Amino acid sequence: MTDHDEHDDPREIPAKPAVLPTTLAARLAGYAWHRNLVGEAGAIVYRLHQPHRVDAPALYLKHGDGAAAIAIAEEFARLQWLAAQWPVPRVEHFEWSDRGAWLLTHALPGRTAYEWLADAPEHASGIVESLGRFLRRLHALPVETCPFNANHLLQLGHARQRLAAGLIDADDFDEARLGWTPRQVLEAIDTMLPFEEDAVVSHGDFSLDNILMRADGEVVGVIDVGRAGIADRYRDLAILANCLDEFDPALRDTFFSAYGLAAPDTRKVDFHLLLDECF
């Protein structure tokens, strides 16, 4: 699914402080609040900073109930495990109650890869090469160490459940599938089975908004790891390549080359883009 329609879309807006559990109220007193508008996926996401302390680190707070609470708990579990494996945000606080789940993390430094590409298109090739090298390093983590499964069979099962529950948003499909129904997407996936995986520890939503970079073009880390787990490597490759099309389709080749793929498997790219439409 596409993350953006226009490069100048607002990415956050000022917000009033949320009604917090007592465990967080004192901890977050005095912070300025901004609601994040990118990729909330059912949860409410806030950026918090102390306006009178420029040296104080920013924080991110996610809150949700129902399915969103479950997703937040899954992200918390993955952040705990990935802390010693990948460059991910440090968890400050997590709790679950009858009001849902709350996850407070430290912000990673830098800006998103999307922001760098939008603001510095003359450096696009260098930015994308850095993304390819970084993903290759992430995928080098031994799969036998990972306790989380995210293979295509599991994801297909979730997709069929979402189809039955009417949760797949056809209005959010990529341009290539505008006018399709969710059932048509699942039928197209079925024609591509069986599917042979090349398993890695996958991020699961390796999009430009979930990658933080410094001004020198080096990647700082990744966020939104709630879907991380063992899966086919093209799960991440397809999502990032699709994001790059918004800027310049030729950047796909730059990305694949930097990752180490001379001849990417376009069938696998298509498979994972179809599957991603269901989430």
User: DSSP states of 54-114 as a string?
Assistant: TTSPPEEEEEE-THHHHHHHHHHHHHHHHTTTS--PPEEEEEEETTEEEEEEEPPSSEEHH
Q: Which candidate, 223, 227, 233, places its Cα nearest to that of 137?
A: 233
41 in Cβ contact with 71 (< 8 Å): yes
Residues 171, 172, 198, 205: which is the catalytic one?
205
Tokens 């003359």 sit on residue: 122
How far apart are the C-alpha atoms of 174 and 170, rounded to whole Å? 9
Q: Would residue 205 show up in a list of annotated catalytic residues for this protein?
A: yes
How far apart are the C-alpha atoms of 211 and 147, rounded to whole Å? 23
SS3 at position 215: coil
Phi, psi of 184 (to 5 degrees): -65, -35
103 in Cβ contact with 75 (< 8 Å): yes
How far apart are the C-alpha atoms of 68 and 70, rounded to whole Å? 5
Long-range contacts of 169-173 (CB under 8 A, 24+ apart): 172/1, 172/2, 172/277, 173/1, 173/277
Which active-site residues does the annotation give?
205
